[in-house]
Structure 1
Amino acid sequence: MNDRTVGRHAGPGLNRRRFLAAAGLTAAGAALATTIQDRAEAAPAAAGVFRVPVEDVRHTRTWMAWPDTTSIWRGKLSGVQADIALIARTIAKYEPVVLCANPGSAAKARQMCGPTVTVISSIPVDDCWMRDTGPVFRTDGYGGLDTVGLNFNGWGDKQTHAKDALVAERIAAYVGVPFTYADLVGEGGAIEQDGAGTLMATRSSIVNRNRNPGVSERQLERAMCDAYGASKVIWFDGVYGQDITDDHVDATSRFLAPGEALVQMPVAADTDDYARDARKQYSVLSASTTAAGRAMDVMRLQGPDYNKIRSANRDFLASYANFYLCNDAVISAQFGDKRADEAAKATLARLYPDRRIEQLDIDRLGTGGGGIHCVTQQQPAA
């Protein structure tokens, strides 16, 4: 669920950009944020040897989740399930996929995903956004693996999340690795890491009172670095209040390697808040350095023309940048703008010459405001 940064103009409709489903909001987020603030006031813990690796490392498996809630998806549910199944089956050609489903819908998930995907019903879920609800896996370079939870609160109590708030800890227990909670409220799609000490994120998502009220940017920066094993954060302003994520970074800007990043750029005619945000992200990154002091090498990934894509939904997320790296492949989306789709595939092939590029039609998920990276969470090999 991310991530959401390159959608079109705000407008009514059933999708994540317009706060898809307000059912089941709780006071838990506010109480948790108070606890986070208290902890953030204390001296930060010394950085350990564990850090979140860059995403092109080898994986043990991919984690996903099965949506089954009509109060969230309404008439779109069957189409979104078809897209989730397609993504899971595609990734399963390259590495194991474990998909968490509620007991009542596990059989349908198995039927739609097929025998190559492992469906488990012991970890209940509210929705499909495993990037945000799942644990963040860390490695120490010596065979050690642990996990961090980002205290998921339904993107600022915008959506029910009683089950999803527990997914990270339950997956860690299932895998049998240590688990700790970070000293901030956030989501995996809100933070990008290069695996060598540098993070990037939008202020609109992290420095936001719906997640971290009263906590300063400096405190949050320390908490992020402690959780990810990093020492520097590159901040973008982002876009406040126009989508459920408050502008996750992973739909626009991604790390490729230490000192290397890409930004999905809008077409020249796009001038909405998300287009302006993308151009600013490119500018900020181009002027930034890594934690090691190296100048950033920033590449452009041209986005599609929204007048030429298949979807007519004004809030559709057409993000090539929201791709997922799995073992030996890059799983990305295509949107029906043939020239842009082909150009994006060629760009990804140049960036990852040793991987197969798979482009999928996931328009139902895109109409819901998410992409492939949003619904996946990698478990790196220790």
Structure 2
Amino acid sequence: MEKLFLTTLLFPLITSCQEDTVTAVPNESINTEIMYTMPEESAPHEGTWLQWPHQYQYGIDYRNDLDKTWVAMTKSLTGSEKVHIVAYDTTEKNRITTLLEADGVSFSNIDFKTYKTDDVWVRDNGPIYVKDKNNQLVIQDWGFNGWGKKAAFENCNTIPAQIAKDQKISVVNLNSIMINEGGAVEVDGNGTLLATKSAILNSNRNPAMTQLQAETNFKKYLGITHFIWLEGKAGREITDMHIDGFARFGNSNTIVTMNENDLMYWEVPQTDINTLYNSKDKNGKSYTFIKLPLSKNNVVTTYGKKLGYKGSYVNYYIGNTVVLVPNYNDPNDVIANQLIQNLYPSRKVIGIDVRNLYANGGMIHCVTQQQPN
């Protein structure tokens, strides 16, 4: 089945590029009080959210091609945290249950919710869990508009509010404040945010919003006091170059990314590469860098479709006791897995075959969302 281009998150046609110089923004430019803070991904989880693939948007082949990846993620995570599965309806819930039973997955840590969704990208449309000043868990419901109205989004945009209602957790409705996808921002857990302007300060998300206005929102709602802004590349793919495809905070003092040639292959502007490699935290200390390879070969799906481009390993997900790393049946899988294992010695790296998911543009981080303790 030929996948619809509207589901492609990370690698279709290129259109435009911005190449302005980027600098980190001083704290003095922000004067709004911090009301919430966002824990980093490696902080302890209560669970992980998944939106299970279904047939109602892109067809049954789309669903069937992705099922094995979702089963593998669920099986890998349930040993140390809950897995909250969003099923489209009761029929889908029963189908998912059958798939998991057939693979011997324990249901002791699985929780089902039935909500209509448009697609699987819960990182971008799902709840953002933060802590308030009393260290109580709160759900933030940022606006989601299908990456600038490029794909259906009406069902997915309701997911955070539905989860908050079901969990009886306070919700902060930010839909009228700002469009913000989870994959567009990386936080180091110590007050620093890393992001591309192209995925946030874009007229298809936040028309007329200034950088200072965005920073004010991120300070108030995520506890950010220091910013590393890359220009990014509008039109690079449906997300307008989300940061989590090529640069992540591995922990509070480490950035996981690629070498310069691979970043250029990923079409990251040279000025952004320079800014990234020279990044400093809020205290002016340089980050340690771990540079993962791209896949050695262009990715080919399990059903034989040649995608014509290489895969990134940066888009991994940190669980309580495991790290789920995108794998491509490629010689570089073992190299990337070992580099990530070295970074997380107390967690077990598990390679997850994402070849079919990657045909639609995303990898592991794009389809997971953490719920902190």
TM-score (normalizing by structure 2): 0.84
Query: Do 1:65 and 1:127's aligned partners in 2 also have CA atoms closer than 8 Å?
Result: yes
Counterparts of residues 259-274 of structure 1 (less than 5 Å): 259-265=253-259, 272=265, 274=266
Matched-pair contact (CA < 8 Å) for 1:204–1:240: yes
Structure-2 residue corresponding to 1:244: 238
User: In 2, distance between residues paired with 1:233 and 1:200?
Assistant: 6
Q: Report the alpha carbon displacement of residue 153 of structure 1 after superposing the two structures with TM.
A: 0.9
Counterpart residue type for residue 87 of structure 1 = M
Q: Which residue of 2 aligns with 1:305?
A: 296
What's the CA shift for 1:121?
Answer: 3.8
The aligned counterpart of 1:47 is: 34
Question: Equivalents in 1 of 2:228, 2:64: separation in Å?
Answer: 39
Q: Is the 8 A contact 2:76 2:322 kept in 1?
A: no
**Residues of 1 paired with 2:93 and 2:182: CA distance?**
25
One-letter amino acid matched to 2:233: V
Matched, 1:99 2:90: no
Q: How does 1:72-91 map to 2 (within 5 A)?
A: 72=58, 75-91=61-77
Q: Distance between the aligned counterparts of 1:374 and 1:19, measured in 2?
A: 9
- The alpha carbon displacement at 1:96 in A equals 1.1
Q: Give CA-to-partner distance per residue, 1:211-261, whole Å, 9 cap, x none.
A: 001111221122122221111221112121131111111111111222321
2:179 equivalent among 170, 177, 185:
185
Seen in structure 2, the aligned counterparts of structure 1 residues 165 and 17 have a Cα distance that, compared at 3 Å, is closer
Inter-CA distance 61–317: structure 2 relative to 1 (3 Å threshold): farther
On the 8 A contact 2:118/2:154 being kept in 1, the answer is: yes
- Which among 97, 109, 124 is matched to residue 96 of structure 2? 109
Q: 1:45 offset after TM fit, Å?
A: 4.6
The answer on whether the counterparts of 1:172 and 1:179 sit within 8 Å (CA) in structure 2 is: yes
**Are positions 1:196 and 2:182 aligned together?**
no
Q: CA separation in 1, counterparts of 2:75 and 2:182?
A: 23
Which one of the candidate residues 69, 83, 90 is aligned to 2:55?
69
CA contact (8 A) 1:286 1:297 kept: no
Q: For residue 212 of structure 1, what is the aligned residue in structure 2?
A: 206
1:120 pairs with 2:112: yes
| Equivalence for 1:228 | 222
Deviation at 1:379, TM superposition (A): 0.6
Count of residues in Structure 1 that have an aligned counterpart in Structure 2: 342
Other-structure match for 1:253 = 247
Cα 1:369–1:255, aligned 2, differ >3 Å: closer, same or farther?
Answer: same
1:159-206 deviations in whole A, cap 9, x for unaligned? 111111110121122222211133310200100001111001111110
Cα distance change, pair 356–222 in 1 and its aligned pair in 2 (3 A): same
TM-score (norm 1): 0.82
Q: Secondary structure at the match of 1:72?
A: coil
1:332 alignment counterpart:
325
Structure 2: where are the runs of 5+ without partners? 11-29
Secondary structure of 1:209's counterpart equals coil
Percent of residue pairs identical: 27
Q: Is the 8 A contact 1:285 1:298 kept in 2?
A: no
Determine if the alignment matches structure 1 residue 349 to structure 2 residue 335.
no
Of 350, 374, 381, which residue of structure 1 is paired with 2:366?
374
Residues 232 and 310 of structure 1: CA distance in aligned 2, closer, same or farther (over 3 Å): same
- Native 8 Å contact 2:8 2:360 kept in 1: no
Does the aligned pair in 1 maintain the 2:45–2:370 contact within 8 Å?
A: yes
Q: Residue 224 and residue 203 in structure 1: after superposition, are their counterparts in 2 closer, same or farther (change >3 A)?
A: same
Q: In structure 1, give the amino acid aligned to 2:347.
A: R
C-alpha distance in 2 between matches for 1:296 and 1:271:
21
